[in-house]
Structure 1
Amino acid sequence: MKPRLRTWIWATVGVTVVCGGPLALLYWFATAWDDIGKPQPADCAAVMTFAHGSLPESAEDARCTEAHFQDTFVTADFRMERAEVESWLSATYPAGEPALTCEQDLCVSVPYDEGVYADVSVTYEDGVTALVRVKAYTT
């Protein structure tokens, strides 16, 4: 007895689903998850809210990014007037402590109870401006 055409069609569909399904799923996983954890542009107000702070009035050239996977990492880079740095830091991060290691001119580390940490580093560019980088992350 010769197999009917319909049997061959169903057999072909079954082999395609059994073999091709996992390959399609593997391809989707590799392409859809490619951007996970990569820094993406973000709203600076949201980034500073996450870091338990706010941008100073004199902030210029603000650029903010965020990255998410198992933890959240946000970064805010901006310039401000050098004379206002100390007052902004003490008002925004009063619980801040000097960082253990610091390669910039000024570094402050601030732990929060919710498992959020903020690290602020300041580099004095000239007599007028300072480059400020705020990094906040969860653990």
Structure 2
Amino acid sequence: MGDAKRKSRWWIWLLVGLVALCGLPVTLLAWGAYSISESARTQTVDCAKAMEFAHGRLPADAEDARCTGTHWQDSYITADFRMPRADVADWLRTTYPEGKPSIGCDKDLCVSVDYDQALYVDVEVVYEGSTALVHLSSYDM
């Protein structure tokens, strides 16, 4: 019995090596594609955190606030809310004193702020009677 020769199973090791060599990169590519697709999804975020990112605060009398964020290589935050029309100019002046009027704005009021070319904030205001609909977008580079 001791003289029986064991069969060589080199093909098993070859198969394991091929699966590892080909399967690992494919698995990493699939995981990377899934991660990128999930991270670039727009999600609802807390408006206090969204406004903190945009270097501002929601006005005390803001209503119907909705905030979203998208994060991948850059972050993109939006905030939409309503506030009294009479308070818009003061809020913009105190929140974004370095803001400049946007060129080519088709809304009632537009302000752009540049924080050292690393963070940008754009505010667009549409007047609706005695209220104002404010759309704020902020993104970093």
Q: How does 1:8-23 map to 2 (within 5 A)?
A: 8-23=11-26
1:29 matches 2:32: yes
Percent of aligned pairs sharing the same letter: 53
1:39-79 CA-partner distances (Å, limit 9, x unpaired): 22111111111111100011111111122222221111111
Q: Aligned with 1:24: secondary structure? A: helix
Shift of 1:128: 2.0
Shift of 1:114: 6.3
- The aligned amino acid for 1:56 is P
Partner of 2:137: 135
The 1-side partners of 2:63 and 2:120 are apart by: 24
Which deviates more, 7-16 or 97-106?
7-16
Aligned length: 137
Q: How does 1:44-59 map to 2 (within 5 A)?
A: 44-59=47-62
1:84 matches 2:90: no
Q: TM-score if structure 1 supplies the norm length? A: 0.87
Moved over 4 A (4+): none
- The aligned amino acid for 2:131 is T
The 2-side partners of 1:96 and 1:82 are apart by: 19
Structure number, greater radius of gyration: 2
Q: Aligned with 2:78: secondary structure? A: strand
Shift of 1:7: 2.8
Where in structure 2 are there 5+ consecutive unaligned residues? none
The 2-side partners of 1:82 and 1:4 are apart by: 87
Which deviates more, 127-136 or 27-36?
27-36
Shift of 1:34: 1.0
Q: TM-score if structure 2 supplies the norm length? A: 0.86
